[in-house]
Structure 1
Amino acid sequence: MHQRSYYSPKGGLPPQTQLLSDRAVFTEAYAVIPKGVLRDIVASYLPFWDNTRLWVLSRPLSGFAETFSQYIMEVGPGGGSDRPELDPGAEGVLFVVEGELTLTLAGERHVLTPGGYAFIPPGCDWQVRNAADSEVRFHWIRKAYEFVEGLGVPDPFVVNEVDVEPTPMPDTDGKWTTTRFVDPTDLRHDMHVNIVNFQPGGVIPFDETHVMEHGLYVLEGKAVYHLNQDWVEVEAGDYMWLRAFCPQSCYAGGPGPFRYLLYKDVNRHPKLRLDSR
């Protein structure tokens, strides 16, 4: 079985001799945030988090992606938070890429290692701590949950990627699979955070053009993405942020698997008014 790897940023600054140009792109349809821009100078901090910094990869912007935010959290030894989420209407997903994260979720203690995944419904009580001797780094994806009368709120859960069997995409001979952590037919969920896997040479063989917004963080490997008629090279540690209806396809171009963590909004009517709740 392939040994999974998970890229995580370390911060720092490049030397004064480095060229300024990089692969960062921000357009009206998509953004590419390459791993080289996740430096100390762009790190942020949050209230009620101890010994913690973060890189904000995406946030709602008027006229661009509007449904979610995504952070890479870096928590030092002994750090964490007893009040991590200040918005009672927010749901979240945590995905660990390095180290050990101790999560107390609805009163139950879990230790998440790389590949560890937690879904946190709105209003759920949770806390996180780093009880280890080195940093823990994890993704935190947040969305304002869209309540629907007659549908309950999803239950919290914790799992590791290694315990979830990837689903082959039709007619791909297993070269393209998706690791799904939530049943797609469970309409209580209004977002999916999956892992998409390609074997070398695997492709998305058409330009997907759809209503879902995306955040894509490359965990492993490299590929070439076709985004709104532009060809963009991406590799482990890069992040892509795609607006709804941005055409998108790719082929895996490296010697090993190409894998990314994928956010998308699902299972709800599009809002017809700006003040719609």
Structure 2
Amino acid sequence: MVSYAFPPGGLPDQSINPEGTAIFTDCYAVLPAVTQRDIVTSFLPGWHKTRAWILARPLSGFAETFAQYALELAPGGGSDTPEPDAKAQAILFVARGQADLVINGAKHSLSAGSYAYIPPGDRWTLWNTGDTPFQAHWVRKSYEPAVGVVVPAAFVTSDAEVAPTPMPDCDGVWATTRFADPADLAHDCHVNIVTFQPGGRIPFAETHVMEHGLYVLQGTAEYLLNKDWVSVGPGDFMWLRAFCPQACIATGSEPFRYLLYKDVNRHVRL
């Protein structure tokens, strides 16, 4: 059975050494799962019986193009007015639980592995319909219009429905699940799932203009961030500034998978 990591909540006991592995630098940050506890959650206007771990937000010296939440709805929780910013688009990826997502009157039943894209201006609601917490990753980004480009339509799919695309020259050990067509210029960001089989790697230090948010869904790896190799595992979140060198080597005996945000398909603002 496929599993997807989510913040553990709770609170470590008093015997735990508080020195941890969290890192915050000028070009990258690492928020380990162990830091994602109850006391760092936020409650959100317009949401009922809901809490959120806000893992990234536009901030000087940190994320510039997006915000990323880990969103937990208690049974019966949800919102009829989830998004306060009319320019914001939403990407939802479900870790566990059941919920009804309604977009412009069309209802979609969500469960673990479900993926939804909601463009700016669309009317949507989200309510937990199960008897356990509903947990989902929510990426928010202000949509950047472009001349001659139509805003993309909403869609709902799932990890199980989209076949991963193997990367070139890697014997299938590195693949990307692309939920939106990378050639579709309507999308100004992608939120994909990247999968490495044990021992698979990014065989060079990627250095590029795209900003990244990475949430580890499964497995472990050694991840290169700028000049530092960092051990990461389920529930760890990484932010990478544009042009921060990155690579990874999957470790352990199971696939290493992460949810990847990147900004794409637009001219650089001057």
TM-score, normalized by length of structure 1?
0.96
Which whole-Å deviations, capped at 9, do the CAs of 1:46-93 have from their partners, x for residues lacking one?
101000000000001123320000000000011100000010100010
What is the identity, as a one-letter code, of the residue corresponding to 1:104? V
CA-CA distance at 1:110 after TM superposition: 0.7
The match for 2:261 is 263
Query: Distance in 2 between the 1:8 and 1:181 partners?
Result: 20
Q: Is the 8 A contact 1:218 1:261 kept in 2?
A: yes
CA-CA distance at 1:4 after TM superposition: 1.9
SS at match of 1:203: coil
Q: Is the 8 A contact 2:100 2:127 kept in 1?
A: yes
What is the identity, as a one-letter code, of the residue corresponding to 1:37? T
What is the identity, as a one-letter code, of the residue corresponding to 2:115? Y
The match for 2:3 is 5
Q: Does 2:248 correspond to 1:250?
A: yes
Gaps of 5+ in 1: 273-277
CA-CA distance at 1:9 after TM superposition: 2.0
Query: Distance in 2 between the 1:32 and 1:10 partners?
Result: 16
Q: Does 2:185 correspond to 1:184?
A: no
RMSD of the TM alignment (CA)? Answer: 0.7
The match for 2:158 is 160
Which whole-Å deviations, capped at 9, do the CAs of 1:250-275 have from their partners, x for residues lacking one?
00011110000000000001111xxx
The match for 2:148 is 150
The match for 1:227 is 225
What is the identity, as a one-letter code, of the residue corresponding to 2:165? T
Aligned residues: 270
Q: Is the 8 A contact 1:65 1:244 kept in 2?
A: no
CA-CA distance at 1:7 after TM superposition: 1.1
CA-CA distance at 1:148 after TM superposition: 1.0
Percent identical:
60
Which whole-Å deviations, capped at 9, do the CAs of 1:170-194 have from their partners, x for residues lacking one?
0000000000000011000000000
The match for 1:114 is 112
Query: Distance in 1 between the 2:235 and 2:6 partners?
Result: 6
Which whole-Å deviations, capped at 9, do the CAs of 1:194-253 have from their partners, x for residues lacking one?
000000000000000000000000000000001111010000110000000000000001
The match for 1:275 is none
Query: Distance in 2 between the 1:9 and 1:226 partners?
Result: 23
The match for 1:127 is 125
The match for 2:19 is 21
SS at match of 1:13: coil
SS at match of 1:84: coil
CA-CA distance at 1:152 after TM superposition: 0.5
What is the identity, as a one-letter code, of the residue corresponding to 2:76? G
What is the identity, as a one-letter code, of the residue corresponding to 1:184? P
The match for 1:84 is 82
SS at match of 2:203: strand
The match for 2:192 is 194
What is the identity, as a one-letter code, of the residue corresponding to 1:30? Y
Gaps of 5+ in 2: none
Q: Does 2:31 correspond to 1:30?
A: no
What is the identity, as a one-letter code, of the residue corresponding to 2:217? L
Query: Distance in 2 between the 1:65 and 1:12 partners?
Result: 26
Which whole-Å deviations, capped at 9, do the CAs of 1:22-42 have from their partners, x for residues lacking one?
110000010000000111110
Query: Distance in 1 between the 2:111 and 2:171 partners?
Result: 30
Q: Is the 8 A contact 2:8 2:33 kept in 1?
A: no
SS at match of 1:162: coil
TM-score, normalized by length of structure 2?
0.99
Query: Distance in 2 between the 1:65 and 1:270 partners?
Result: 16
CA-CA distance at 1:8 after TM superposition: 1.6
SS at match of 1:71: strand
SS at match of 1:208: coil
SS at match of 2:39: helix
